[in-house]
Amino acid sequence: MRPSLLRSASQLLRRNRRRDYSAAAGGQPERKVAILGAAGGIGQPLALLMKLNPLVSSLSLYDIAGTPGVAADVSHINSPALVKGFVGEEQLGEALEGSDVVIIPAGVPRKPGMTRDDLFNINAGIVKGLCTAISKYCPNALVNMISNPVNSTVPIAAEVFKKAGTYDEKKLFGVTTLDVVRAKTFYAGKANVPVTEVNVPVVGGHAGITILPLFSQATPATNALCHEDIKALTKRTQDGGTEVVEAKAGKGSATLSMAYAGAVFADACLKGLNGVPNVVECSFVQSTVTELPFFASKVTLGKNGVEEVHGLGQLSDFEKEGLENLKGELKSSIEKGIKFAHAN
Ligand SMILES: NC(=O)c1ccc[n+]([C@@H]2O[C@H](COP(=O)([O-])OP(=O)(O)OC[C@H]3O[C@@H](n4cnc5c(N)ncnc54)[C@H](O)[C@@H]3O)[C@@H](O)[C@H]2O)c1
Ligand SMILES: O=C(O)C[C@H](O)C(=O)O
């Protein structure tokens, strides 16, 4: 082939490659997502799901151990996101720098017989350290808190950010999507409606009775369910985490369903950042919906994070009672988090 022909062929090839790449990325802005605790039970499948998300251009996998292997593995998947693994505190800054969304599933999970609050002593310190680094290296990122007890770790994060002068209440989220995922699945099964069409808001917090599914607002609506059915569905949603902990019999808590839920919520955050309209998910955020400073309810996600925190809508008498019953526990979990952040 003549040298000039060779040159134009290679130029064409390069142009096409560039075109393919931007088409694959959907013409979206570059977005960096960091996962802290990426080598764990949730972290690994979540890394896989985020690598498959076309809105992610850079995926940063951080843990105290094991991330080089996870990153090497996930990086071989032929999707656009560039994957890098970071291990140990000295690499945390680089892992976080430039992140748009930081997902935190770092910390210990429950064993049978434990409550989420039993994780506080270990996880509070882990979350505090990671949030201190976030305030330094990527203070504008949206933070998706998965580590339990969420009812306390989110207030801890808020206090750490306030102390660093970087707190933006629009950018801090407790991930309660797994409660919604469960409520949808259980409702669809009981009401015998197609699960992919179901929507159920879940409000309150993320532990036991603080998890309040609003089945009176579930769609598609059904009159096939009696009060006893609703009571049973509510209890099963509240105890969903414990159901998995007991079934795993000492080998941890929900990881796969949580990775799915975490990926759904992170995707919603990215869509909001990219200006997609009407992105609504339930999340545990700073709130004035009740007298409590943090509360989970439907939230519209936008270019700066929370665009609107929605109210609770019409509640059934059963749900009104559940709402009053959860406030005491939720209040003390929030206060415990705030107190820890101030004392440490
Ligand atoms: N929000 C929810 O709905 C929800 C659902 C399931 C689990 N969880 C919580 O998520 C957390 C993680 O669960 P898991 O099953 O993945 O646990 P896991 O033990 O399998 O993984 C946790 C990972 O965190 C890492 N880690 C520990 N300290 C760290 C630090 N300082 N920095 C970075 N990484 C660190 C560990 O090395 C480990 O790889 C638990 O607290 C669990 O209760 C929350
Ligand atoms: O139940 C747990 O401890 C983990 C998580 O919060 C869940 O709801 O599955």
38 is in an annotated binding site: yes
Residue 287 CB less than 6 A away from ligand 1: no
Q: Whose CA is nearest to atom 3 of ligand 2?
A: 110
Superfamily per CATH, domain 32-175: NAD(P)-binding Rossmann-like Domain (3.40.50.720)
Residue 178 CB less than 6 A away from ligand 1: yes
151 is in an annotated binding site: no
63 is in an annotated binding site: yes
Work out which ligand 2 atom sits closest to the CA atom of 258: 9
- Hey, what are 14's tokens? 């390069």
CATH of 177-336, one of 2.40.160.40, 3.90.110.10, 3.40.50.920, 3.30.1370.60: 3.90.110.10
Q: Which of 147, 178, 185, 237 to mutate to test the pocket of ligand 2 (most atoms within 8 A of CB)?
A: 178
Q: Is 206 tagged catalytic?
A: yes
- Hey, what are 52's tokens? 């498959």
* 8, pLDDT greater than 90: no
Residue 182 CB less than 6 A away from ligand 1: no
Instruction: Answer whether 292's CB lies under 8 Å from 206's CB.
Output: no
27 pLDDT tier (thresholds 50, 70, 90)? low
pLDDT, tens only, 62-92 = 999 999 999 999 999 999 999 999 999 999 9
113 is in an annotated binding site: no
Q: To the nearest whole percent, how much of the chain has pLDDT over 90? A: 91
> ipTM beyond 0.90?
yes
Residue 133 CB less than 6 A away from ligand 1: no
Instruction: Answer whether 87's CB lies under 8 Å from 67's CB.
Output: yes
Residue 241 CB less than 6 A away from ligand 2: yes
Q: What's the mean per-residue pLDDT of the chain?
A: 93
* CA-to-CA dists, residue 333 to 137, 234, 239, 316, angstroms: 28, 21, 18, 26
Length of the chain counted residue by residue: 344
Among all bound ligands, the one having the nearest atom to the CA of 88 is: 1
Residue 150 CB less than 6 A away from ligand 2: no
116 is in an annotated binding site: yes
Tell me the CA–centroid distance for residue 42 and ligand 1, in Å. Answer: 7
* CA-to-CA dists, residue 247 to 232, 240, 241, 244, 251, angstroms: 19, 11, 10, 5, 9
Among all bound ligands, the one having the nearest atom to the CA of 262 is: 1
Among all bound ligands, the one having the nearest atom to the CA of 261 is: 1
25 pLDDT tier (thresholds 50, 70, 90)? very low
pTM of the model: 0.93
20 pLDDT tier (thresholds 50, 70, 90)? very low
Work out which ligand 1 atom sits closest to the CA atom of 65: 37
Q: Is pLDDT larger for residue 8 or for residue 78?
A: 78
Please name the residues in contact with 159: beta carbons below 8 A apart, sequence gap of 6 or more. Answer: 337, 338, 341, 342
Parse the chain into domains and list their residue ranges.
32-175, 177-336
Please name the residues in contact with 285: beta carbons below 8 A apart, sequence gap of 6 or more. Answer: 154, 169, 172, 173, 174, 294, 295, 296, 297, 299, 306, 309
Q: Is pLDDT larger for residue 344 or for residue 131?
A: 131
The rounded Cα 146 to chain-centroid distance in angstroms is 6
Residue 25 CB less than 6 A away from ligand 1: no
Tell me the CA–centroid distance for residue 290 and ligand 2, in Å. Answer: 24
